[in-house]
Amino acid sequence: MIKPIKVTITGAAGHIGYALAFRVASGEMFGPDQPVILRLLEIPQALSSLNGVGMELEDCALPLLHDIVLTDDPGIGFRETDYAILIGAKARGKGMERKDLISDNAKIFSAQGKAINDHASGDVRVLVVGNPANTNALIAAANAPDLENKQFTAMTRLDHNRALGQLANKTNKLVADITRMTIWGNHSMTQYPDISNCRIGGASALELVTRDWAIDHFIPRIQRRGGEIIEARGLSSAASAADAVVDHVRDWALGTPDGDWVSMSVRSDGSYGVSEDVVFSFPVTCKAGEYEIVQGLELDDLSQARLKASEKELLEERAIIQELL
Protein backbone atom coordinates (compact mmCIF):
# COMPACT_ATOMS: atom_id res chain seq x y z
CA MET A 1 0.00 0.00 0.00
CA ILE A 2 1.25 3.54 -0.76
CA LYS A 3 2.14 5.36 2.47
CA PRO A 4 -0.33 8.21 3.12
CA ILE A 5 0.94 11.80 2.98
CA LYS A 6 0.11 13.78 6.13
CA VAL A 7 -1.27 17.24 5.36
CA THR A 8 -1.94 19.82 8.05
CA ILE A 9 -4.39 22.62 7.26
CA THR A 10 -4.64 25.44 9.80
CA GLY A 11 -7.82 27.50 9.92
CA ALA A 12 -9.61 24.50 8.44
CA ALA A 13 -13.04 25.67 9.57
CA GLY A 14 -12.57 29.01 7.78
CA HIS A 15 -13.60 29.90 4.26
CA ILE A 16 -10.44 28.79 2.45
CA GLY A 17 -9.92 25.75 4.67
CA TYR A 18 -13.45 24.55 4.00
CA ALA A 19 -12.95 24.90 0.24
CA LEU A 20 -9.57 23.17 0.40
CA ALA A 21 -9.90 20.13 2.68
CA PHE A 22 -12.26 18.22 0.38
CA ARG A 23 -10.06 18.78 -2.66
CA VAL A 24 -6.95 17.50 -0.89
CA ALA A 25 -8.90 14.50 0.39
CA SER A 26 -10.26 13.67 -3.05
CA GLY A 27 -6.79 13.43 -4.60
CA GLU A 28 -6.51 16.71 -6.48
CA MET A 29 -3.31 17.72 -4.73
CA PHE A 30 -1.20 14.55 -4.87
CA GLY A 31 -2.94 12.52 -7.54
CA PRO A 32 -5.59 9.82 -7.76
CA ASP A 33 -3.49 7.00 -6.23
CA GLN A 34 -1.97 8.83 -3.28
CA PRO A 35 -3.73 8.39 0.10
CA VAL A 36 -3.71 11.30 2.54
CA ILE A 37 -4.19 11.89 6.26
CA LEU A 38 -5.70 15.28 7.10
CA ARG A 39 -4.71 17.03 10.30
CA LEU A 40 -7.03 20.00 10.70
CA LEU A 41 -5.93 22.63 13.22
CA GLU A 42 -8.18 25.36 14.59
CA ILE A 43 -8.48 27.65 17.58
CA PRO A 44 -10.65 26.41 20.50
CA GLN A 45 -13.58 28.72 19.61
CA ALA A 46 -13.85 27.11 16.16
CA LEU A 47 -13.71 23.46 17.27
CA SER A 48 -17.45 22.90 16.99
CA SER A 49 -17.43 24.15 13.42
CA LEU A 50 -14.31 22.06 12.72
CA ASN A 51 -16.15 18.96 13.99
CA GLY A 52 -18.79 19.68 11.37
CA VAL A 53 -16.12 19.80 8.67
CA GLY A 54 -14.82 16.46 9.94
CA MET A 55 -18.31 14.93 9.76
CA GLU A 56 -18.78 16.14 6.20
CA LEU A 57 -15.41 14.71 5.19
CA GLU A 58 -16.45 11.35 6.67
CA ASP A 59 -19.76 11.55 4.82
CA CYS A 60 -17.95 11.87 1.48
CA ALA A 61 -16.53 8.35 1.97
CA LEU A 62 -13.43 9.38 0.04
CA PRO A 63 -11.27 6.32 -0.64
CA LEU A 64 -7.97 8.26 -0.46
CA LEU A 65 -8.73 9.79 2.95
CA HIS A 66 -7.15 7.38 5.44
CA ASP A 67 -7.58 9.40 8.62
CA ILE A 68 -8.80 12.78 9.88
CA VAL A 69 -7.40 14.47 12.99
CA LEU A 70 -9.31 17.47 14.38
CA THR A 71 -7.49 19.49 17.00
CA ASP A 72 -6.71 22.85 18.58
CA ASP A 73 -3.31 21.59 19.77
CA PRO A 74 -0.46 22.56 17.39
CA GLY A 75 1.64 19.70 18.81
CA ILE A 76 -0.96 17.26 17.51
CA GLY A 77 -1.86 19.22 14.38
CA PHE A 78 1.72 19.33 13.11
CA ARG A 79 2.83 15.89 14.40
CA GLU A 80 5.08 14.27 11.78
CA THR A 81 3.31 16.23 9.08
CA ASP A 82 4.68 16.24 5.52
CA TYR A 83 2.89 19.38 4.29
CA ALA A 84 1.79 22.26 6.51
CA ILE A 85 -0.62 24.70 4.89
CA LEU A 86 -0.88 27.75 7.12
CA ILE A 87 -4.16 29.49 6.38
CA GLY A 88 -5.53 30.23 9.85
CA ALA A 89 -5.28 34.00 10.38
CA LYS A 90 -7.43 37.11 10.20
CA ALA A 91 -8.55 38.25 6.74
CA ARG A 92 -8.70 41.92 5.72
CA GLY A 93 -11.95 43.77 5.17
CA LYS A 94 -12.92 46.61 2.85
CA GLY A 95 -10.53 49.56 2.84
CA MET A 96 -7.62 47.67 4.43
CA GLU A 97 -4.25 46.69 2.95
CA ARG A 98 -2.91 43.19 3.69
CA LYS A 99 -0.04 44.64 5.70
CA ASP A 100 -2.60 46.16 8.11
CA LEU A 101 -2.99 42.56 9.36
CA ILE A 102 0.61 42.28 10.59
CA SER A 103 -0.05 43.18 14.21
CA ASP A 104 -2.90 40.66 14.52
CA ASN A 105 -1.40 37.81 12.53
CA ALA A 106 2.39 37.85 12.93
CA LYS A 107 2.44 36.08 16.32
CA ILE A 108 0.43 33.16 14.93
CA PHE A 109 3.30 32.40 12.56
CA SER A 110 6.09 32.60 15.13
CA ALA A 111 4.18 30.12 17.35
CA GLN A 112 3.40 27.85 14.41
CA GLY A 113 6.98 28.02 13.10
CA LYS A 114 8.16 26.73 16.51
CA ALA A 115 5.52 24.01 16.59
CA ILE A 116 6.44 22.88 13.06
CA ASN A 117 10.11 22.81 14.05
CA ASP A 118 9.35 20.65 17.08
CA HIS A 119 6.69 18.30 15.73
CA ALA A 120 6.65 18.10 11.92
CA SER A 121 8.61 15.73 9.68
CA GLY A 122 12.19 16.99 9.18
CA ASP A 123 11.37 17.06 5.47
CA VAL A 124 8.15 19.08 5.87
CA ARG A 125 7.12 21.56 3.17
CA VAL A 126 5.28 24.66 4.39
CA LEU A 127 2.98 26.97 2.43
CA VAL A 128 1.90 30.21 4.12
CA VAL A 129 -1.41 31.65 2.91
CA GLY A 130 -2.48 33.84 5.87
CA ASN A 131 -1.71 37.50 5.16
CA PRO A 132 0.62 39.25 4.87
CA ALA A 133 1.78 35.91 3.50
CA ASN A 134 5.37 36.71 2.48
CA THR A 135 6.31 38.23 5.81
CA ASN A 136 4.45 35.54 7.75
CA ALA A 137 6.50 32.90 5.90
CA LEU A 138 9.68 34.76 6.87
CA ILE A 139 8.54 34.66 10.52
CA ALA A 140 7.59 30.98 10.45
CA ALA A 141 10.94 29.96 8.93
CA ALA A 142 12.92 32.08 11.40
CA ASN A 143 11.20 30.27 14.27
CA ALA A 144 12.09 26.83 12.90
CA PRO A 145 15.88 26.74 13.33
CA ASP A 146 16.18 23.00 12.63
CA LEU A 147 14.58 23.39 9.21
CA GLU A 148 15.86 25.11 6.08
CA ASN A 149 14.46 28.33 4.62
CA LYS A 150 13.77 26.52 1.37
CA GLN A 151 11.14 24.41 3.17
CA PHE A 152 9.01 27.56 3.67
CA THR A 153 7.10 29.30 0.88
CA ALA A 154 4.27 31.83 0.60
CA MET A 155 1.44 31.93 -1.89
CA THR A 156 1.50 34.12 -4.98
CA ARG A 157 -0.05 31.39 -7.12
CA LEU A 158 -3.44 33.06 -6.87
CA ASP A 159 -1.97 36.22 -8.44
CA HIS A 160 -0.30 34.04 -11.09
CA ASN A 161 -3.61 32.33 -11.90
CA ARG A 162 -5.44 35.67 -11.96
CA ALA A 163 -2.87 36.94 -14.45
CA LEU A 164 -3.34 33.87 -16.67
CA GLY A 165 -7.11 34.39 -16.60
CA GLN A 166 -6.93 38.07 -17.56
CA LEU A 167 -4.40 37.47 -20.34
CA ALA A 168 -6.45 34.59 -21.76
CA ASN A 169 -9.57 36.80 -21.78
CA LYS A 170 -7.80 39.66 -23.48
CA THR A 171 -6.21 37.56 -26.23
CA ASN A 172 -9.19 35.26 -26.67
CA LYS A 173 -6.94 32.23 -26.04
CA LEU A 174 -7.12 29.41 -23.55
CA VAL A 175 -5.32 29.56 -20.22
CA ALA A 176 -3.73 26.25 -21.20
CA ASP A 177 -2.08 27.99 -24.17
CA ILE A 178 -0.16 30.44 -21.94
CA THR A 179 3.24 29.66 -20.43
CA ARG A 180 5.94 31.57 -18.53
CA MET A 181 3.78 33.99 -16.56
CA THR A 182 5.64 35.61 -13.67
CA ILE A 183 4.57 37.37 -10.50
CA TRP A 184 7.52 39.16 -8.88
CA GLY A 185 7.61 40.52 -5.33
CA ASN A 186 5.12 40.73 -2.50
CA HIS A 187 1.54 39.39 -2.41
CA SER A 188 0.36 43.01 -2.20
CA MET A 189 -0.29 46.11 -4.27
CA THR A 190 3.45 46.31 -5.10
CA GLN A 191 3.57 42.92 -6.81
CA TYR A 192 4.71 42.98 -10.44
CA PRO A 193 2.70 40.74 -12.77
CA ASP A 194 5.06 40.39 -15.74
CA ILE A 195 3.97 39.14 -19.15
CA SER A 196 7.20 39.98 -20.93
CA ASN A 197 8.32 36.33 -21.11
CA CYS A 198 4.85 34.86 -21.70
CA ARG A 199 4.30 32.65 -24.69
CA ILE A 200 0.80 32.13 -26.05
CA GLY A 201 0.53 29.23 -28.44
CA GLY A 202 3.99 29.82 -29.92
CA ALA A 203 3.82 33.66 -30.06
CA SER A 204 5.14 36.20 -27.60
CA ALA A 205 2.35 37.75 -25.50
CA LEU A 206 3.79 41.14 -26.37
CA GLU A 207 2.85 40.54 -30.02
CA LEU A 208 -0.78 40.02 -29.01
CA VAL A 209 -1.39 42.85 -26.52
CA THR A 210 -0.16 46.42 -26.38
CA ARG A 211 2.29 47.71 -23.83
CA ASP A 212 -0.30 50.34 -22.83
CA TRP A 213 -2.85 47.61 -22.02
CA ALA A 214 -0.26 45.79 -19.90
CA ILE A 215 0.72 48.91 -17.95
CA ASP A 216 -2.61 50.71 -17.66
CA HIS A 217 -5.01 47.77 -17.27
CA PHE A 218 -3.42 44.38 -16.71
CA ILE A 219 -0.87 45.15 -13.99
CA PRO A 220 -3.19 47.28 -11.78
CA ARG A 221 -6.07 44.81 -12.25
CA ILE A 222 -3.98 41.92 -10.89
CA GLN A 223 -2.51 44.07 -8.12
CA ARG A 224 -6.02 45.09 -7.02
CA ARG A 225 -7.87 41.85 -7.70
CA GLY A 226 -7.98 40.76 -4.05
CA GLY A 227 -9.59 44.09 -3.13
CA GLU A 228 -11.98 43.84 -6.08
CA ILE A 229 -13.20 40.46 -4.76
CA ILE A 230 -13.63 41.88 -1.25
CA GLU A 231 -15.69 44.78 -2.65
CA ALA A 232 -17.92 42.36 -4.55
CA ARG A 233 -18.30 39.55 -2.00
CA GLY A 234 -17.85 41.46 1.24
CA LEU A 235 -15.38 38.66 2.01
CA SER A 236 -11.95 37.83 0.66
CA SER A 237 -11.36 35.24 -2.02
CA ALA A 238 -11.81 31.67 -0.80
CA ALA A 239 -12.51 29.11 -3.55
CA SER A 240 -9.90 30.65 -5.87
CA ALA A 241 -7.43 30.80 -2.98
CA ALA A 242 -8.02 27.12 -2.20
CA ASP A 243 -7.55 26.34 -5.90
CA ALA A 244 -4.22 28.17 -5.89
CA VAL A 245 -3.12 26.19 -2.81
CA VAL A 246 -3.81 22.95 -4.68
CA ASP A 247 -1.80 24.21 -7.67
CA HIS A 248 1.12 25.48 -5.57
CA VAL A 249 1.57 22.32 -3.51
CA ARG A 250 0.88 19.93 -6.40
CA ASP A 251 3.53 21.56 -8.58
CA TRP A 252 6.04 21.77 -5.71
CA ALA A 253 5.52 18.08 -4.91
CA LEU A 254 5.04 16.61 -8.38
CA GLY A 255 6.92 19.10 -10.60
CA THR A 256 6.24 21.85 -13.12
CA PRO A 257 5.69 20.99 -16.80
CA ASP A 258 8.71 21.07 -19.11
CA GLY A 259 9.18 24.48 -20.72
CA ASP A 260 7.00 26.31 -18.20
CA TRP A 261 7.38 27.79 -14.74
CA VAL A 262 5.15 29.00 -11.90
CA SER A 263 5.29 31.86 -9.39
CA MET A 264 6.15 31.02 -5.78
CA SER A 265 7.21 33.29 -2.95
CA VAL A 266 10.46 31.87 -1.58
CA ARG A 267 13.36 33.11 0.50
CA SER A 268 15.47 35.23 -1.81
CA ASP A 269 18.97 33.94 -2.60
CA GLY A 270 19.96 37.28 -4.13
CA SER A 271 18.72 36.36 -7.61
CA TYR A 272 17.87 39.43 -9.73
CA GLY A 273 19.52 41.61 -7.07
CA VAL A 274 16.72 41.01 -4.51
CA SER A 275 17.76 41.28 -0.85
CA GLU A 276 18.30 37.90 0.83
CA ASP A 277 16.33 39.19 3.85
CA VAL A 278 12.89 38.75 2.30
CA VAL A 279 10.47 36.13 0.99
CA PHE A 280 9.85 37.27 -2.58
CA SER A 281 7.82 35.92 -5.48
CA PHE A 282 10.01 34.59 -8.30
CA PRO A 283 9.47 32.41 -11.35
CA VAL A 284 10.43 28.88 -10.29
CA THR A 285 10.58 25.39 -11.71
CA CYS A 286 9.91 22.47 -9.37
CA LYS A 287 10.85 18.82 -9.27
CA ALA A 288 10.14 16.25 -6.56
CA GLY A 289 9.61 18.72 -3.72
CA GLU A 290 12.46 21.09 -4.62
CA TYR A 291 12.20 24.44 -6.40
CA GLU A 292 14.75 26.43 -8.38
CA ILE A 293 14.50 30.11 -9.23
CA VAL A 294 14.53 30.61 -13.01
CA GLN A 295 17.72 32.47 -13.92
CA GLY A 296 18.73 34.76 -16.75
CA LEU A 297 15.50 36.63 -17.48
CA GLU A 298 15.93 40.15 -18.81
CA LEU A 299 14.46 42.99 -16.74
CA ASP A 300 14.26 46.45 -18.26
CA ASP A 301 14.62 49.59 -16.10
CA LEU A 302 10.89 49.83 -15.42
CA SER A 303 10.72 46.19 -14.35
CA GLN A 304 13.75 46.57 -12.11
CA ALA A 305 12.13 49.60 -10.47
CA ARG A 306 9.00 47.54 -9.80
CA LEU A 307 11.05 44.76 -8.16
CA LYS A 308 12.82 47.35 -6.00
CA ALA A 309 9.49 48.86 -4.86
CA SER A 310 8.22 45.46 -3.75
CA GLU A 311 11.52 44.62 -2.05
CA LYS A 312 11.35 47.97 -0.19
CA GLU A 313 7.85 47.18 1.05
CA LEU A 314 8.95 43.73 2.24
CA LEU A 315 11.95 45.20 4.06
CA GLU A 316 9.58 47.67 5.77
CA GLU A 317 7.29 44.80 6.83
CA ARG A 318 10.35 42.93 8.08
CA ALA A 319 11.38 45.90 10.23
CA ILE A 320 7.94 45.90 11.89
CA ILE A 321 8.19 42.23 12.96
CA GLN A 322 11.96 42.20 13.59
CA GLU A 323 11.54 41.02 17.20
CA LEU A 324 9.81 37.83 15.99
CA LEU A 325 12.75 36.75 13.80
Whether the CB-CB separation of 185 and 310 falls below 8 Å is answered with yes
Annotated catalytic residue within 15, 119, 187, 248: 187
Cα 247 off chain centre by: 9
- Number of Cα atoms under 13 Å in the Cβ half of residue 34: 15
Using a CB cutoff of 8 Å and minimum separation of 24, what contacts does 19-24 make?
A: 19/238, 19/239, 19/241, 19/242, 19/243, 20/85, 20/87, 20/242, 20/245, 20/246, 21/53, 21/57, 22/56, 22/57, 22/60, 22/62, 23/242, 23/243, 23/246, 24/246
For residue 120, state whether it binds ligand NAD (rule: CB under 6 A): no
The answer to whether residue 187 is catalytic is: yes
For residue 137, state whether it binds ligand NAD (rule: CB under 6 A): no
**Binders of ligand NAD among 7-36, rule CB under 6 A?**
10-11, 13-17
For residue 91, state whether it binds ligand NAD (rule: CB under 6 A): yes
Residues in the chain: 325
For residue 10, state whether it binds ligand LMR (rule: CB under 6 A): no
d(CA 268, CA 265): 9
For residue 237, state whether it binds ligand LMR (rule: CB under 6 A): yes
Using the minimum distance from each CB to ligand LMR, give the nearer residue, 230 or 284.
230
**Binders of ligand LMR among 173-202, rule CB under 6 A?**
none
d(CA 205, CA 192): 16
Question: Among the candidate windows 81-89, 162-170, 207-215, 291-299, which touches ligand NAD by CB under 6 A?
Answer: 81-89
For residue 117, state whether it binds ligand LMR (rule: CB under 6 A): no
Number of residues that bind ligand LMR (CB under 6 A): 11
229 binds, among ligand LMR, ligand NAD, none (CB under 5 to 8 A by kind): ligand LMR
Q: Which phi and psi (to 5°) does residue 298 adopt? A: -85, 135
d(CA 24, CA 45): 24
For residue 226, state whether it binds ligand LMR (rule: CB under 6 A): yes
d(CA 314, CA 319): 9
Supply the minimum distance, in Å, between the C-beta of residue 100 and ligand LMR. 10
Supply the minimum distance, in Å, between the C-beta of residue 251 and ligand NAD. 15
Supply the residues annotated as catalytic. 187
Site residues (CB under 6 A) for ligand NAD?
A: 10-11, 13-17, 41-43, 46, 87-92, 108, 129-131, 133, 155, 158, 187, 236-238, 241
